[in-house]
A and B are shown apart, each in its own frame.
Chain A
Amino acid sequence: MMTASLNAYVIVSAVLFAIGFFGVLIRRNTLIVFMSLELMLIASTLALVAFSRVNGTMDGNVFVFFILTVAAAEVAVGLAIIVALFRRRHTVQIDQLDTLKN
């Protein structure tokens, strides 16, 4: 059976992580920024599972469940904030959320 090497997994997850990171920095729509944040977390879980398999320890696989739980909590709170903010401002564009200024 063909199996991909560890390097392939690490490179894919690093690329996913970079896409997420630059998505957060560049995109102007809050929802897309939020999706990019989730992409970064998912990139970490992919690398974690690959490492766990190669190292032969279960810690990585178990850690994935913790990360998923944390990500779910973050999404719940984050979407609540975005929805509440949309009701006040009628926009989720980051450039228009600049009321906090000196």
Chain B
Amino acid sequence: MDISVLQTLASRNLWGAITPEILLGGLALVLLVIELLFPKEHGRIVPVATLVGLVTILGGVLFNAPSAYLNQETFNGLLLHTHGGQIMRIFFLLAAIMVCVIARVSLAKQSLPRVEFYHIVLVVTAAMMLLAQSNHLVLFFVALETVTIGLYILVSYYRTSLTLEAGLKYLVMGALSSSLMLFGIVLLYGVAGNPALPAHTAQSMHYGQLAAFLAANPHNFLASIGIVLVLAGVAFKIGAFPFQIWVPDVYQGAPTPVTAFLAVSSKAVGFTALLALAGTVFASYAWLVAPVLTFFAATTLLFGNFAALTQHNVKRLIGLSGVSHAGFLLLGVAAVSRAPMAVGAIYFYLFAYLLASFAVFGVMAHVAGANDADQELDHYAGLAKDRPFLALVLALGLGSLAGIPPLVGFMGKLFIFIAAFQAGLYGLLAIAVIGVVVSIYYYFGWIKAAFFETWGKSVDAPTHPERTPVDFVTGFALSALALAVVVLGFYQGPLGAWLSAR
């Protein structure tokens, strides 16, 4: 091979374009070095170093948000840097910061090594950020597997019987969905490169080339099987019906910070992939993709909300409520092809979901005892009297998740509904409204447990585990989340404009 070919290839590897991801990987390695250098004090240094590093990287990404690489392909078409990619980078960094804040509270109740937890969170976050910008099915698959395998370890991190069982269930379900998706990718690769078909391409796993091939062959049988398999794999990750069976068990068994990571970041990963694939690459297969998405959205909305009604364990409750939130987001994805504002609405909904969810998970980490899987609604009795700050944050977070008017969750749902209305999805919209009404019931059951169930219980023998006091960092983070939930509900301003910009 001529040396100049290699030079051209190498010149397209613009490493500067993925500086945040490289820094995250570097930070993950630094944590391991800190453990070696400070064998005694690393338990205190590592969380602080992680948080400082993450906030610095977030600042850098925010500062460089209109990056020089915008709308440019790097690494020979493996990556495409878009505005949406920048939004999701910031999303994943914010989520990682909140996971580490919650992990400080939760890990303090266990006697376990700390470093590896933060290390894996950083690596997984870097993979998520790469996935948000991927433009090639190979990078998509490898980044997704890095995320999933990292999460297998995190889910079973506490190594108790329940946590390991949750880890095994997540492993089997996750590997099954990855294999389905992989077979779909292989079929797409095989069909799109087939020399006998029109518009076949040598780069058949590149999103742009694949989209061009699919547009030229809009009714290919193997390609449609491939598309359905890929969509099924993504549906597993976001917990859409009928692929939601793992959600309650895994959410209950996983440590609280990992449950938060799964609920927010892992779901957002699925939706970034769905936006990139269903929205653009598979656009010419709308005859197939639209009914599949409509089916997912309708059944997910109904199942998530009705299954959550009967739950007493708050982690299962929040897991099934997360399924219903996936339903609302799927409604947005179904609207994308006919209502362009739906993309901005989905990003806004994801941010609203991030703020409210982490507020709730932050409170859950304080209320939980040493047995992390055992978090019942009864444990919240008297929280308003005992810890008014936590109860207030919980009420704001749950209110926002339910979509109560002045809060940010209401605006998120409103934007999605407007997009669905513009796209003419009236049937789905009706199901979504039923879902909202049902969801208010179980969210308020939780708020009721925290605020009104103080009487009738013996004061001498509290039935709930010891509640952790709120320290400065966690208090600051929770106040910021609660404030954002209220303020962004009244005034979306620059955030809304930035999220809906194209």
Query: Could you list which residues of chain A lie within 8 angstroms of chain B, going by C-beta atoms?
Result: 10, 17, 20-21, 24, 30, 33-34, 37, 40-41, 43-44, 47-48, 50-51, 54-57, 59-60, 62-63, 66-67, 70, 73-74, 77-78, 81-82, 84-85, 88-89, 97, 99-100, 102
| Residues of B with C-beta under 8 A to A51 | 186, 189-190, 193
Question: When the two chains form their complex, are residues A74 and B175 in contact, meaning their CB atoms are under 8 A apart?
Answer: yes
Question: Complex Cα distance A48/B316, Å?
Answer: 39
Question: Complex Cα distance A40/B202, Å?
Answer: 26
Question: Complex Cα distance A70/B185, Å?
Answer: 15
| Residues of A with C-beta under 8 A to B182 | 40-41, 44, 67
| Residues of A with C-beta under 8 A to B161 | 85, 88-89, 99
Q: How many A-B residue pairs have CB under 8 A?
A: 139
| Residues of B with C-beta under 8 A to A78 | 152, 171, 175
**Considering only CB atoms, which chain B residue lies closest to A43 in the complex?**
B183
Question: When the two chains form their complex, are residues A81 and B253 in contact, meaning their CB atoms are under 8 A apart?
Answer: no
**Considering only CB atoms, which chain A residue lies closest to B175 in the complex?**
A37
Question: Complex Cα distance A67/B181, Å?
Answer: 12
| Residues of A with C-beta under 8 A to B175 | 37, 74, 78
| Residues of A with C-beta under 8 A to B142 | 66, 70
With known contacts A41-B182, A47-B190, A51-B190, A81–B164 Cβ distance under 8 A:
yes
CB distance from A62 to the nearest CB of B (A): 8
A-B CB contact pairs (8 Å), 16 listed: A24-B176, A40-B176, A40-B180, A48-B186, A48-B190, A55-B189, A55-B195, A57-B203, A59-B193, A60-B193, A66-B142, A78-B171, A81-B152, A84-B159, A89-B161, A89-B165
| Residues of B with C-beta under 8 A to A66 | 138, 141-142
Q: Which of B295-303, B307-315, B322-330, B352-360 contacts A (4 or more CB under 8 A)?
A: B307-315
Question: Complex Cα distance A95/B171, Å?
Answer: 16
Query: Could you list which residues of chain B lie within 8 angstroms of chain A, going by C-beta atoms?
Result: 138, 141-142, 145, 149, 152-153, 156, 159-162, 164-169, 171-172, 175-176, 178-180, 182-183, 185-187, 189-190, 193-195, 200, 202-205, 248-249, 252-253, 310-313, 316, 373
CB distance from B88 to the nearest CB of A (A): 22
Question: When the two chains form their complex, are residues A81 and B156 in contact, meaning their CB atoms are under 8 A apart?
Answer: yes
**Considering only CB atoms, which chain B residue lies closest to A50 in the complex?**
B190
Question: Complex Cα distance A89/B145, Å?
Answer: 28
Question: When the two chains form their complex, are residues B204 and A59 in contact, meaning their CB atoms are under 8 A apart?
Answer: yes
CB distance from B303 to the nearest CB of A (A): 15
CB distance from B281 to the nearest CB of A (A): 16
| Residues of A with C-beta under 8 A to B190 | 10, 47-48, 50-51, 54-55, 60
Question: When the two chains form their complex, are residues A40 and B249 in contact, meaning their CB atoms are under 8 A apart?
Answer: no
**Considering only CB atoms, which chain B residue lies closest to A14 in the complex?**
B183
Partner of A100, one of B153, B156, B249: B249
| Residues of B with C-beta under 8 A to A89 | 161, 165
